Structure 1
Amino acid sequence: MSEFASKVVVITGASSGIGAATAKELSKQGALLSLTGRNEERLAQVVDECKKLGAKDVIQVVGDVSKQEDLERIIKETADKFGEIHVLVNNAGLGLVVPIATFTLDQFDRCFNVNVRAALYLTKLALPYLEKTKGNIVNISSTGSTTYAFPGCCIYNGAKAACDHITKAAALELAKSGIRVNAVNPAGVETNFAVSAGLTEEQSKALYAQQAKLHPLNERNIKVEEVVDAILFLASDKATMITGSCLRVDGGRALTGQ
């Protein structure tokens, strides 16, 4: 039996990409899932798939993590349903490609609200439950936090750098409560993320083709399943003494400095 069987796992940004894939893998292991996303139709599809894959129980909380009331509702509805929380996966992210010369403060605020504020506030809200279960938190960051920068990615790179540092600061602060906090930092993963960041389908394909060449190991992009493996490792008892870590899943890209 998997160690995740009957454990309550909250996953934000669960309607697609890494979040959806993480939910499906945990379903196979019999977890209890609280899944959040903005797209109600896609989220419902993921919930149905999770039930078919063996999730012990699944609830969906449609909401926008940039909104305080939705963040509070995520934890409240999870606690009302399950009574406890063992793992919080702060996966919801927002890409943004916009030049410094033309960005707006609204764009800046939304990028930081989704990538940084939401993760920290959910950590606060989940804290009483994680203290009781000696649970843990996995934040989904990016190698863009430290390794590379692209023109137009100043705000996004800054947000992911902040994500890394709140991961480390939270890990130190919460260690006394027995709560571990880690991050997973993927390089290029082929999802719909680039399109959501404002690129066209054609631009997205070109970007992923370019990024693949920057991964020395096999010169290919990272598979979603490979990121999920890292998330589940950090959330598991196999990582009992790992906290404050930012685990790169990048095919060696950081070694090239690109």
Structure 2
Amino acid sequence: MEVNFTDKVVLITGASAGIGEATALLFAKLGAKLSIVGRNEENLKSVAERCEREKGLKPLAIVADLATDEGVERTAKETIEHYGRLDVLINNAGISARTCIQRADMATFDAVFALDVRGVYNLTRLLVPRLIETKGNIVNVSSISATVVAVGSLPYGMAKAALDHFTKLIALELAPKGVRVNAVSPGLTVSKIVTRMTGCSEEEYQAWLARATKVVPMGEVCVGLDIAKMIAHIASDDMSRLVTGTIVQVDGGLQFGTPGTFIAEQMK
């Protein structure tokens, strides 16, 4: 059985790079009508153009900051005005930060929670009525940082733990309405988030990836497409019709194979 999203309206946040970009391109290939959201206008335009080349369907590209109420409200409004419906909401947008309680500041905490938790909460709240109408589903993109304890992962780990619990809570609430809610929890994944977070060069990042690969039991770090394929699998009613309230790890065995303190050492 092949995954197919023909005539399904799919909203993907954080689609201008990394996992979101890979997810947008995969769903375009699978026939979805896309609403894609990102903060980088140039990158988002490029992703939209590549998505359109897959099946000839032009995505709705929304440049918005989902850490703000204005950005969230405009995203929900423009998506529904453009398509008139929503079948799948993929909450992928997020930021990270490396800090610990001994040097933490509240500005960093607020920035991470504004996007990774409040933005997801708010956008989901606004779009749930539309998902109930279509018996649609939600996929949240979490992280193994939600469960693997590592020095330096504040407040990102806290935010992703909150996202996991949010996933389970609303899955229970929305199940009688026919709406499924799940999360994908990536392990070490090739993306721009590490370079943005640490300010390291591309050469330093590649060296970090080489070290990180050695601590993954299956011997490989993830790429965006690995996560995108799992998102598509869970979002498909044909493949995952009765799957809800589940956190699916895509990490090459890292979560149970490596102590969090060692992960932290690799990230220094």
**Structure 2: distance between partners of 1:42 and 1:231:** 21
Residues 149-206 of structure 1 deviation map (CA, whole Å, 9 limit, x = unaligned): 1x32121111111111101111011111111110000100111110122341255334
SS at match of 2:182: strand
Is 1:164 the counterpart of 2:164 in the alignment?
yes
Is 1:231 the counterpart of 2:246 in the alignment?
no
Residue 100 of structure 1: how far off its partner (Å): 2.3
Residue 55 of structure 1: how far off its partner (Å): 5.1
Structure 1: which 5+ runs fail to align? none
Moved beyond 3 Å, runs of 4+: 202-207
SS at match of 1:50: helix
Q: Percent identity?
A: 40
Distance 1:55 1:139, change over 3 A: farther
SS at match of 2:61: strand
SS at match of 2:249: strand
Distance 1:68 1:18, change over 3 A: same
Q: TM-score, normalised by structure 2?
A: 0.91
Structure 2: which 5+ runs fail to align? 260-268
AA matched with 2:84:
G
> Residue 17 of structure 1 corresponds to which residue in structure 2?
18
After superposition, the CA RMSD in angstroms is: 1.5
User: Would the aligned equivalents of 2:48 and 2:58 in 1 still touch at CA under 8 Å?
Assistant: no
SS at match of 1:197: helix
SS at match of 1:200: coil
AA matched with 1:12:
T
**Structure 1: distance between partners of 2:146 and 2:128:** 25
User: Would the aligned equivalents of 1:32 and 1:55 in 2 still touch at CA under 8 Å?
Assistant: no
User: Would the aligned equivalents of 1:26 and 1:55 in 2 still touch at CA under 8 Å?
Assistant: no
Residue 208 of structure 1: how far off its partner (Å): 2.5
Q: How does 1:109-258 map to 2 (within 5 A)?
A: 109-149=110-150, 151-201=151-201, 202-217=203-218, 219-237=219-237, 238-258=239-259
Q: TM-score, normalised by structure 1?
A: 0.95
Is 1:41 the counterpart of 2:11 in the alignment?
no
AA matched with 2:57:
K
Residue 207 of structure 1: how far off its partner (Å): 3.4
Tell me how many residue pairs correspond in the alignment.
256
User: Would the aligned equivalents of 2:3 and 2:233 in 1 still touch at CA under 8 Å?
Assistant: no
